[in-house]
Amino acid sequence: MQERVYVLSNGKILEAFASSRKEISRWKPGPCKNFHYWFFTLDPDDKLIRENITKALYLADVSAKRQYDNLEEKGYYAQIISGNVSQTIKVDSVRVDTGNHPYGFRCYARRSLSEGPALSPGAWSLKGYYVIYPGVITTRTGF
């Protein structure tokens, strides 16, 4: 006798299959790339900076908000605005260690600036963690 599980969804019967947490929690680099793009692509416009940061913060946890608050407190965004600097970031690659949860990642990117000698362009190596919270269904963004 074979046991099967069926789910009723919008009047349709679907067969459900069991899979391990590892199989369903495949890490995707897209959200990581998007977060870094929105968090670090800045123009000398306070409203636009806030819009980009808001988009980035939807892809992260409270630690990203703390980083934003730290940068704000140190005058990073004020320096972008007062220096009339546009900053863009291009993510080259994202490496992830899926051996242990939370998954550590390192994002390799290049920053370029339109103006301003005080902020130097160059290569960045940013690190963080991808955390899967129990009981939370991942969205189309991967979180």
In the chain, the amino acid numbered 33 is: K
Nearest-angstrom CA–CA distance, 62 and 70: 13
Distance CA 43, CA 61 (A): 24
Domain boundaries, the chain: 30-130
Contact in structure between 86 and 116 (CB atoms under 8 Å):
no
Q: From first to last of its 143 residues, what are the pLDDT tens digits of the chain?
A: 567 777 777 787 777 766 555 544 555 667 788 898 999 999 999 999 999 999 999 888 888 999 999 999 999 999 999 989 899 888 888 888 877 777 788 889 988 888 755 556 678 787 877 776 665 544 444 44
Does residue 102 have a cis bond before it (omega within 30 degrees)? yes
Q: At what angle do helices 62-73 and 29-40 cross, to 10 degrees?
A: 20
